[in-house]
Amino acid sequence: MTVENDAAPQQHDLESGVVEVVVANAAAGGERQVALACDGEFSDPFDIADTKNVSAESLKRWRKAALVLNASRRFRYTLDLKKEEEEQRRKASLLFKLAGQQAIVLGTSVTPPTPNGNYAIGLEQLVSMTRDHNHSALRQYGGVKGLAEMLRTNPEMGVVGDDDELLNRRNAFGSNTYPRFLWEAWQDLTLIILIIAAAASLVLGIKTEGIKEGWYDGVSITFAVLLVIFVTAISDYRQSLQFQSLNEEKRNIHLEVIRGGRRDKVSIYNIVVGDVVPLKIGDQVPADGIIISSHSLAIDESSMTGESKIVHKDYRAPFLMSGCKVADGAGTMLVSGVGINTEWGLLMTSISEDKVEETPLQVRLNGVASFIGIVGLAVALFLLLVLSARFFTGHSKNPDGSVQFVRGKTNIGQTVNGVVRIITAAVTIVVVAVPEGLPLAVTLTLAYSMKKMMADKALVRRLSACETMGSATTICSDKTGTLTLNQMTVVEAYVGRNKIDPLEDESKLHAAMSSLVHEGIAKNTAGSVFPSKDGGGIEVSGSPTEKAILHWGIMLGMKFDVVRSESILLHVCPFNSTKKRGGVALRRLTDSQVHIHWKGAAEIILDLCTQFIDANGCFRSIDEDKAFFSEAIEDMAARSLRCVAFAYRSYKTDEVPTDEHLAQWILPEDDLILIAIVGIKDPCRPGVKDAVKLCTEAGVKVRMVTGDNLQTAKAIALECGILLSEKEASEPNVIEGTTFRKLSDKEREQVAKKILVMGRSSPSDKLLLVQTLQKQGEVVAVTGDGTNDAPALH
């Protein structure tokens, strides 16, 4: 699913932080989706935790099947998710090792490349190099550059990307899909007991009462059993179909690739070998590949290795594995393996899925049903023993008073009849005791509610979420993208002390000044500007905030490609939600000067500035004017604008770290010179006010927890009814993340309940609030669309 998010680098956040109920927003054309989570398991679509029932022996037994009946439905009293997850990770890492050994058998020696159709390298060589992380092979193929050449792709422009070429690549190297298997199982103790009982009744009935009368019991039990089996099977089958389509949807991540110099959004299934894919924090590595360029790139490989370990990747460790997450930094990769040819694909085909999950209520009811069944069985056995003992010791009498069994006198036929009567009584108890319909009723109810929610365009990933969500007492919602539309436009801008009005009017700016503005916008961005497909206009990619800023740059007359080519990037410190700023270091080609540009939350950047540039292009100390800038920011924020500031500093060329130390360079952020401040409008989502009101009336308290400026948050909260009046908008109802963080545990508990708006919160502040509320017995729902919401959602 595509999630547009403002917090810069997250596009597939949902995949990184999933999430119980996913509500697709119909109004936004299904493009935007909001995730709700309630206290549950944190897994992702590519997560090993999705898979169950893996064992070495059962590996062999997996069959492809569409019909999924739930295995071991009866004897699970609790959902031990933690343990399950651990187990799966263990199994996954085992498989991973096995796969590794397999690869070794394939041979790690470097085979010279053999041509493959249009390409100078064959599938086998690519696969073995990628899977083994074979550095010497990569070196022999000429590094990532040489490999790109062999694969007929350009590290900057990507593949040409027309349909024919993509098809060729798919034919030569496969496509990025892999077969999935469902774990077929149906085995249900109560039903088995009933089937045996039915058979027994049939035999006994016919034996005691003859064919004509005796079949009633047996056949009616069989009928009941069949009815239950059919209804359960049909509902499970439909449920599994729904889950299948849902999973497909969930896995169908859309991501940016560079094709023909443009940034295209394509489905993960359409990635081909040779594609150049930009990666940023929160993204998932969509296929196996090799790094072309990277800046502080760190990858979370826990989904592959089972150990939760963040690995740093650069030209020294250039191999990326599909299915892993980008934990930090940014980079671009060259795809060298897709689908079944990746480590992940291998794993996926060997692990089955048991998709039908149970809610806690279902598990408990199943437990009760099983328990009653077992008690019934035990009582029946006990009865059987007692009656048999009585019968064979001559204690049971016929209605006429005669003893039923006398040793030596009663003939075999009569004895058998007596025993059969006893067994019939026992079987009757079993049949009566087994409450088969109980779990079935719950399954049907849930399936029905799921269907209803689907009709409302809400995908329920975890059935238990419906139950838990129903008892939520409070919602912690993020702002950007959930309460607001995440459609941003710059509506106000200051360059130096000058308010730019109209926004495209650069005429009052000093030339040096506007060149710095252009440099800051075009170089310090994770977004991009490129000609649109039809050739006429231009397109802008990136997070909504980045897009808004780039659009403003274009309005000012910035030529993206020209500005980009005027300097070389030395180092990037990508934006993240904790620091709330991102920076780059660049060397200008004209005068070899090194500039370090920062861009981020306005008041935070302003605090780092010691100077600003005045109308004549001269540097001036900021001391006297700081109040002016602070006021400008406050004023924009109070009108619900998001404020972003630009600043820069120059740096001594000879102090720039050498190439091998460049990756570890911590960009200096003191003594900055303020360039510009912009106010970005992000309108409230229509209907939010009513939704908040509905929640409040239902007794669910809505709180806003946002990474944005407190004033902006306050203004939006007033707009959408989370804050009812200005009067309410004071501490502790409205609080900054840092203030909340610094409180003692005790104070925090007192404050947490009162918080309605929390601004400038880091991802861990969001989590802290949720945990504090949970500690007080609240059932907390979390909504969010960004990686900054992931810990709290989890």
Ligand X SMILES: Nc1ncnc2c1ncn2[C@@H]1O[C@H](COP(=O)(O)OP(=O)(O)OP(=O)(O)O)[C@@H](O)[C@H]1O
By annotation, the residues acting in catalysis are 478
Query: What x/- string results for residues 431 through 460 when contact with ligand X is judged by CB under 6 A?
Result: ------------------------------
- The entry of Ca ion, ligand X, none that residue 545 binds, CB within 5 to 8 Å by partner kind: ligand X
- The entry of ligand X, Ca ion, none that residue 528 binds, CB within 5 to 8 Å by partner kind: none
**Token pair of 500, please?**
């730019």
How far apart are alpha carbons 17 and 770 in whole angstroms? 15
Q: Does 580 interact with ligand X (rule: CB under 6 A)? A: yes
- Which helix or strand (DSSP H or E) is residue 425 part of? helix 412-433
Q: List the interface residues with ligand X, window 474-503 (CB under 6 A).
A: 478-481
Q: Which is nearer to Ca ion, 545 or 567 (CB)?
A: 545
Residues that bind Ca ion (CB under 5 A): 478, 480-481, 785-786
Please, are residues 186 and 228 in contact by the beta-carbon 8 Å criterion? no
Least distance to Ca ion, CB of residue 697, Å: 25
The closest of 231, 251, 331, 245 to 290, measured between CA atoms, is: 331
How far apart are alpha carbons 580 and 66 in whole angstroms? 47
- The entry of Ca ion, ligand X, none that residue 198 binds, CB within 5 to 8 Å by partner kind: none
Least distance to ligand X, CB of residue 10, Å: 8
The CA-atom distances, in angstroms, between 266 and each of 31, 262, 273, 348, 748 are 14, 12, 14, 22, 45
Beta bridge partners of 600: 581, 645
Q: List the interface residues with ligand X, window 756-775 (CB under 6 A).
A: none
The CA-atom distances, in angstroms, between 437 and each of 191, 341, 520, 631 are 11, 46, 67, 67
Q: Which is nearer to ligand X, 440 or 604 (CB)?
A: 604
Applying CB under 6 A, the span of 197-205, 405-413, 593-601, 614-622 interacting with ligand X comes to 593-601
Q: Does 706 interact with ligand X (rule: CB under 6 A)? A: yes
How far apart are alpha carbons 340 and 179 in whole angstroms? 8
Report the 3 state secondary structure along 29-94. CCCCEEEEEECCCCCCCCCHHHCCCCCHHHHHHCCCCCCCCCCCCCCCCCCCHHHHHHHHHHHHHH
Please, are residues 602 and 644 in contact by the beta-carbon 8 Å criterion? yes
Q: Which is nearer to ligand X, 3 or 431 (CB)?
A: 3
The closest of 133, 132, 102, 86 to 306, measured between CA atoms, is: 86
Q: Does 599 interact with ligand X (rule: CB under 6 A)? A: yes
Q: Which is nearer to ligand X, 130 or 545 (CB)?
A: 545
How far apart are alpha carbons 220 and 198 in whole angstroms? 8
Q: Residues 275, 328, 546, 736: which binds ligand X (CB under 6 A)?
A: 546
Q: Which is nearer to Ca ion, 376 or 786 (CB)?
A: 786
Q: Which is nearer to Ca ion, 523 or 766 (CB)?
A: 766
Query: Residue 747 carries which side chain, given as an amino acid letter?
Result: E
Q: Does 709 interact with ligand X (rule: CB under 6 A)? A: yes
Q: Does 640 interact with ligand X (rule: CB under 6 A)? A: no
Q: Does 637 interact with ligand X (rule: CB under 6 A)? A: no
Q: Which is nearer to Ca ion, 478 or 492 (CB)?
A: 478
Q: Does 6 interact with ligand X (rule: CB under 6 A)? A: yes
Q: Does 783 interact with ligand X (rule: CB under 6 A)? A: no
Q: Does 644 interact with ligand X (rule: CB under 6 A)? A: yes
Least distance to Ca ion, CB of residue 708, Å: 9
Least distance to Ca ion, CB of residue 481, Å: 4
Residues that contact ligand X, how many (by CB under 6 A): 26
Q: Does 256 interact with ligand X (rule: CB under 6 A)? A: no
Q: List the interface residues with ligand X, window 512-531 (CB under 6 A).
A: none
Q: Residues 174, 318, 600, 737: which binds ligand X (CB under 6 A)?
A: 600
- The entry of ligand X, Ca ion, none that residue 431 binds, CB within 5 to 8 Å by partner kind: none
Least distance to ligand X, CB of residue 675, Å: 13
How far apart are alpha carbons 594 and 295 in whole angstroms? 18
Q: Residues 8, 92, 304, 442: which binds ligand X (CB under 6 A)?
A: 8
The closest of 135, 133, 139 to 99, measured between CA atoms, is: 133
Least distance to ligand X, CB of residue 542, Å: 8
Q: Which is nearer to ligand X, 464 or 577 (CB)?
A: 577
Least distance to Ca ion, CB of residue 7, Å: 6
Q: What are phi and psi of 322, to 5 degrees?
A: -60, 145
Q: Does 703 interact with ligand X (rule: CB under 6 A)? A: no
Least distance to ligand X, CB of residue 757, Å: 11
Least distance to ligand X, CB of residue 790, Å: 11
**Token pair of 265, please?**
């959004």
613 by DSSP, 3-state: which?
A: strand
The closest of 434, 435, 436, 427 to 217, measured between CA atoms, is: 427
Compute CA 736 distance to the chain's CA centroid, rounded to the nearest angstrom.
27
Q: Residues 130, 577, 711, 783: which binds ligand X (CB under 6 A)?
A: 577
Strand runs labelled E in 82-200: 181-182
Q: Residues 250, 595, 642, 681: which binds ligand X (CB under 6 A)?
A: 642
Q: Residues 278, 323, 786, 791: which binds ligand X (CB under 6 A)?
A: 786
Please, are residues 307 and 300 in contact by the beta-carbon 8 Å criterion? no
The CA-atom distances, in angstroms, between 758 and each of 27, 35, 424, 785 are 27, 19, 69, 17
Least distance to ligand X, CB of residue 781, Å: 16
Cα angle vertex 169, ends 166, 170, to 5°? Answer: 85
For ligand X, the binding residues (CB under 6 A) are 6-8, 478-481, 543, 545-546, 575, 577, 580-582, 599-601, 642, 644, 706-709, 786, 788
